[in-house]
Chain A
Amino acid sequence: MIAIRTDDVDIGKLIRDAKQRGTGAIVVFDGVVRDDDIKEMNLEAYEEVALKELERIAQDAKKKHNLLSVDIIHRTGRLVVGENILVIVVSAGHREEAYAGSRFIIEAIKAGVPIWKKELTKDGGRWVPGEHGHGAGSRKHK
């Protein structure tokens, strides 16, 4: 499943579904709202472009790291501390491929998928700066 949505996701089901013939390792990345003295976080996406970009990243990761399956669920809207923001589940024949594939996906998302976070505090709010400050992101959008 590749999705951008407001609802949470059943990680247990994703893991069960990721087990298929040939699977030897499943890696789960679960990014959560950290308690940085905030009340909530609001996430916004350029959804049509972001979804296509997630699909491209999943295909690239499969090819590059011999993954058997990839799930990426990125949430938007208001989330409280401790809630899931991003869940990535990958399966592969071996742990090296699964770990590398998962890492590839999260780094690609941070570099180029048009999604933004605003931390909501008792004093107002602040936009989280991107990690790739100089124009950020892939220049190869299909």
Chain B
Amino acid sequence: MNVRVRFFAQFGELLGTDIIAEPSSGVALDSLIKEIASKNKEGYDAIFDEHGSFREFVIIMRNGKRLDMADAKKARIADGDEIAVFPPVAGG
């Protein structure tokens, strides 16, 4: 299956802004993000803490809808999903 993963702001600089992944069916969202982020230690460390959990300030959206962190941990990826990962917003 195909999944689009988008990183924004400093996460995008470190990991790439727009990635098409082909994970196996039913993969956990956090596993997918970890796998992609592991290509760059600085990028991985920006998103995950030393226990491998999403850092408190990280925001995750699936198909344009924000996920609570508890949901993000247990969420399973579906074909065609768009996942966005970004730091706190700073517009205006």
A-to-B contact residues, CB < 8 Å: 31, 43-46, 48-50, 52, 74, 85-86, 106, 109-118, 127-139, 141
Contacts and interface: CB of A to CB of B under 8 A. Distances in A.
Nearest to A88: B92
B91 A136 contact: no
Interface of B: 6, 8-10, 12, 56-59, 61, 64-66, 68-69, 84, 86-92
A107 to B, nearest CB: 9
Given A44-B9, A117-B90, A130-B88, 19 more contacts: A31-B92, A44-B12, A46-B86, A74-B91, A74-B92, A86-B91, A106-B92, A109-B92, A111-B89, A114-B86, A116-B86, A116-B90, A116-B91, A134-B57, A135-B58, A137-B59, A139-B68, A141-B65, A141-B66
Given A127-B87, A133-B57, A141-B61, A116 B92 contact: no
Say whether chain A's binding surface is mostly helix, strand, loop, or mixed. Answer: mixed
Contact of B64 (A43, A116, A118, A141): A141
